[in-house]
Amino acid sequence: MLTRRSFLVSGLSLPLLPTLPLVAEESRWEKRLVRAARQQIGVTLGYNPAYVTLPYPGGDIDRATGVCTDVVIRAYRDAFETDLQVLVHEDMKASFASYPKIWGLTKADRNIDHRRVPNLETFFKRQGFERAMPGTRDDWQLGDLVTMRLGGRLPHIAIFSGYDATTGKAMYIHNIGGGTREDELYADYDTPRRFRFEPPAA
């Protein structure tokens, strides 16, 4: 099993290896996902984890703000009309006992369940979307969803968007506190997990 340190070394810090090209075909679902995520940059400028009552389906808070999960939720909605709010809620209703009990809930809550990283991790794993962590940078794929624990405890999720053509650094689209951005993961983190969610619409 890769530790946080080995993941940082093998996944992010090997500048001598060749840069992976981005997917060329316009129809590839990974490219569509990354493009939809990039379109949030400059739109989502804040970070707000507050509980909000949402419409269902398709519920969202003002796009000027959000959390890390909102980047992923909005990208899948915009690119494929795939609604993680519905998918997670329906799966939680069907198998609530399979999901984390971190928040003391006794039933599924369609307003917040899909906006929590541990629930997304559980949903993706239950659907067979979890993949082994890369052994080298060449194993990363455009559109990978990467979850982790910032500072060893705070759940976070980001979309792998490729390697910078100039620096060779691995880049991610996420909201880590200052709005949606595309950059390296500078924060200290551990227990990374990797998911690939190709939506039915793709």
3-state secondary structure 63-128: CCCCCHHHHHHHHHHHHHCCCHHHHHHHHHHHCHHHCCCCCCCCCCCCCCHHHCHHHHHHHHHHCC
- The helix (H) or strand (E) run that includes residue 5 is helix 4-12
Tell me the one-letter amino acid at 175. Answer: N
Question: Which residues contact residue 43 at a Cβ distance below 8 angstroms, ignoring those fewer than 6 apart?
Answer: 63, 64, 180
Kindly report, residue by residue over 71-112, the tens digit of the pLDDT.
Answer: 999 999 999 999 999 999 999 999 999 999 999 999 999 999
pTM for the predicted model, two decimal places: 0.87
Length of the chain measured in residues: 202
Residue 119 pLDDT class (50, 70, 90 cuts): very high
- The conformational region for residue 179 under phi > 0 = left, psi -120 to 50 = alpha, else beta, is left
Contacts of 94 (CB under 8 A, 6+ apart): none
**Cα–Cα dist 21/85, whole Å:** 32
pLDDT digits (tens, 9 = 90+) for 13-63: 333 333 344 434 446 999 999 999 999 999 999 999 999 999 999 999 999
